[in-house]
Amino acid sequence: MKNKPAIAFLIAATPACAGFTLALFPQARLPIAAAVAYAACCFFIVGIQSRVLRWANTPVPFRIPTTAGQQKSLAWIRPAKLDNPATGIAATGRMALEILCFRSLFRNTGARITKDRMIFRESLGLWLAAILFHWSFLLIFLRHLRFFVEPIPAFVFWLEKLDSPIDVGFPHLFVSDITFLAGVGYLCWRRFADPAVRYISLVSDYLALWLLLGIGATGVYMRYWGHVNVAGIKQFALGLATFSPTLPQGISPVFFAHLFLVCVLAVYIPSGKIMHGAGVWLSPTRNLANNNRAVRHVNPWNAPVKTHTYAEWQEENKDKLKSAGIPLEEDDV
Amino acid sequence: MRERLIIVGGLALFLLLFAYPVLRAAVYHTQTSAPQLRLTSQGSTCVAPTDYMRTSHMRLLSQWRTDVVRHGDRRFVAFNGKVYDKSLTRTCLGCHNKQQFCDRCHAYSGVSGPHCWSCHNDPQAATAKVMP
């Protein structure tokens, strides 16, 4: 398949077009929008829970942490506590660094061919774009609580203030809107521009990016240009939260495109690679302390094996060994 | 076993956070009804159609602010040919009340809005303060 980005784009454009089309049918808007939203929510929750439970039931008999620093050994050798954790607390610290700061991506290197040789060097573009995108997305997600909760809790306003510290433009610009689009834009550009990344990219890789770009573009358009009936949209969102869906007249078609794109993303999340959000917590290569040499770990379902140790054998044949003049191994305890 | 407990606890926490709007609506008995807006004067027409005002009043007000403050232009010809004074206090607040109109929708939608009231005063609130 050569046209993977195009195929993914068509898949992502479908919900957007469906949203615009739905806006043409005033009678069908409410039942279809509500049904799609509820179905997507159910699929999202059940999908995530079932996948995580399946992972939880997968045995991890051995400690298999990947290490990226000096292991704890002799007292005078300084260990890399976070990159090679020896205790549970250090492993927790490592997880926090991974989940909050994307430590692994920070280690990314890139190969570059100069005139006469190939050099490796730090390549932080991916880390920067990822961290901008993820934190912006979290902020945007939490800011959307103002649509789903009434009265609006104070922390939502704190987040808005944090996101728009000075009044730029009108309606006031949110920093996260820019960083979100810049982050996703870079991640998208990278898939096209880097031949190695393009070679390993799948349709689903592009799909996730197109969906995020579509959600960002429709959201930004609704806020800054195509003004929408915000109170009406809040009524719809609150209706979903109280299980009594309602949809006032005069809601922009762009809103339905936005909604359907979010619903498709919610369905895609448990089905694809975005499950790394839950998976990172359960990575045995990250969340286990590297204490294989300090603590003996026994595989809990080892079959009981009948053993006959040398100590037992020597005890049984003590007399014969003595008479033959063979020295006995003493207990060195 | 201990790991399973942590994982199930994490899943339960995720579910609880995700259901926060639903739980909160159930606890607070949230109504989905739109905010109740009241006009102080009925019958007169607004400077623009309701649908436009509902979505884009801020753009109009921002434009008025620029026209008046920077260009001294106070004449606004409405969609129906009527001429209005570009003034929040004299034109808008003649029919719309801050507490019973602006604030209700803005609080409902969580829109902090531009800082109209850092320059303009609210005539009704001002009178109330003067006459205790």
One-letter amino acid for residue A173 of the chain: L
What's the CA angle centered on A65, arms A196 and A82, to 5 degrees? 95
Tell me how close the Cα of B131 comes to any Cα of chain A, in angstroms: 32
**3-class secondary-structure state, position A189:** helix
More confident residue, A15 or A2: A15
Phi, psi (degrees; rounded to nearest 5) at B96: -100, 135
Quick check: A149 and B109 CB within 8 A?
Answer: no
CB A318 within 8 A of CB A328: yes
Share of chain A above pLDDT 90, in %: 75
CA quadruple A61, A67, A72, A78: dihedral, nearest 10: -170
- Residue B38 has what pLDDT? 82
C-alpha angle A299/A300/A305, rounded to 5°? 75
In this complex, the residue of A56, A147, A160 whose CB is nearest that of residue B4 is: A56
A112: three-class secondary structure by DSSP: strand
d(CA A171, CA B72): 23
CA-wise closest residue to A171 among A233, A218, A236, A221: A221
Q: Cβ separation of A170 and B114 shorter than 8 Å?
A: yes
Residue A77: the pLDDT is: 95
| Cβ-Cβ contacts under 8 Å, A234 against chain B | 108-110
Q: Write out residues in chain B with pLDDT < 50, as ranges.
A: 131-132
Rounded Cα gap, residues A37 and B89, in angstroms: 42
User: How many inter-chain contacts (A to B, CB under 8 Å) are there?
Assistant: 94
Give per-residue pLDDT as tens, A44-64. 999 999 999 999 998 888 889
Whose tokens are 């895609």? That residue is: A268
Say yes or no for a CB contact (<8 Å) between B21 and A149.
Answer: yes
**Confidence (pLDDT) at A332:** 54
Q: Residue B8 corresponds to which amino acid?
A: V
Say if B20 is an interface residue toward chain A (CB within 8 Å): yes
At A241, is the pLDDT very low, low, confident or very high (cuts 50, 70, 90)? Answer: very high
The DSSP output letter for A293 is: T
Nearest to A205, CA basis, from A192, A218, A220, A216: A192
CB contact under 8 A, B25 and A244: no
> Which chain B residue has its CA at the smallest distance from A248's CA?
B34
Whole-number pLDDT of residue A10: 93
Judging contacts by C-beta atoms under 8 Å, the chain B residues touching residue A227 are 55-56, 58-59
**Is residue A170 scored above 90 in pLDDT?**
no
**B112 to A232: CB separation less than 8 angstroms, yes or no:** no
- Find where tokens 């959307």 sit: A144
Give the B window 63-92 contacts with A, CB below 8 Å.
none
Contact B40, B97 (CB under 8 A): yes
Helices and strands in chain B: count of H runs, count of E runs: 6, 2
> Any CB–CB contact under 8 A between B35 and chain A?
yes
Q: What percent of chain A has pLDDT over 70?
A: 99
Query: What is the maximal distance between C-alpha atoms in chain B?
Result: 76
Q: Mutation target for B interface from A53, A92, A157, A230: give the one with most B CBs within 10 A.
A: A230
Kindly determine whether residue B112 and residue A157, on different chains, have CB atoms separated by under 8 Å: yes
Per residue, the 3-state secondary structure of A18-41, as one string, reads: HHHHHCCCHHHHHHHHHHHHHHHH
Nearest CB neighbour to A241, from listed B3, B15, B21? B21
Residue A108 has pLDDT above 80, yes or no: yes
Q: What are the sequence ranges of the domains in chain B?
A: 59-113
Q: What is the pLDDT of residue A107?
A: 92
Mean pLDDT of A291-306: 87
> What is d(CA A8, CA A205) in angstroms, rounded to the nearest whole number?
8
Quick one: three-class SS letters along A94-123?
HHHHHHHHCHHHHCCEEEEECCCCEEEEEC
User: Dihedrals φ, ψ of B122, to 5°?
Assistant: -95, 110
Q: Would you say residue A297 has pLDDT above 90?
A: no
| B45 secondary structure, DSSP code | P
Instruction: Write down the pLDDT at residue A112.
Output: 84
Provide mean pLDDT across the span A180-208. 94
pLDDT tens digits, A244-284: 999 988 899 999 999 999 999 999 999 999 999 999 999 99
- Which chain A residue lies closest to B8 (C-alpha atoms)? A53
Q: Which chain B residue has its CA at the smallest distance from A149's CA? A: B21
Residue indicated by tokens 């207990």:
A331
- CA A48 – CA A223 distance, rounded (Å): 31
Give the alpha-carbon dihedral of A230, A232, A237, A240, to 10 degrees. Answer: 180
Taking Cα atoms as reference points, which of A261, A246, A247, A230 lies closest to residue A152?
A230
Q: Which two tokens stand for residue A290?
A: 């590297």
Contact with chain A for residue B59, Cβ under 8 A: yes
Mean pLDDT over the full length of chain A: 92
**Helices A26-56 and B2-18, packing angle to 10 deg:** 170
* pLDDT at residue number B132: 44
Calculate how close chain B gets to A86, using CA atoms only, in Å: 18
Residue A133: exposure state from Cβ atoms within 10 A (0-12, 13-18, ≥19):
buried
With contact defined as beta carbons under 8 Å apart, do A217 and A254 qualify? no
Residues A56-105 have pLDDT tens digits of 998 888 889 999 999 999 999 999 999 999 999 999 999 999 999 999 99
CA separation (Å) from A190 to A4, A114, A126?
Answer: 15, 20, 8
Averaged pLDDT, A166-193: 93
Separation of alpha carbons A241 and A259, rounded Å? 15
Confidence of residue A331 (pLDDT cuts 50, 70, 90): low
Q: How far is B85 from chain A (nearest CA, A)?
A: 23
Q: b/e for A21-55, b at 16 or more Cβ within 10 A?
A: ebbeeeeebbebbbebbeebbebbbebbbebbeeb
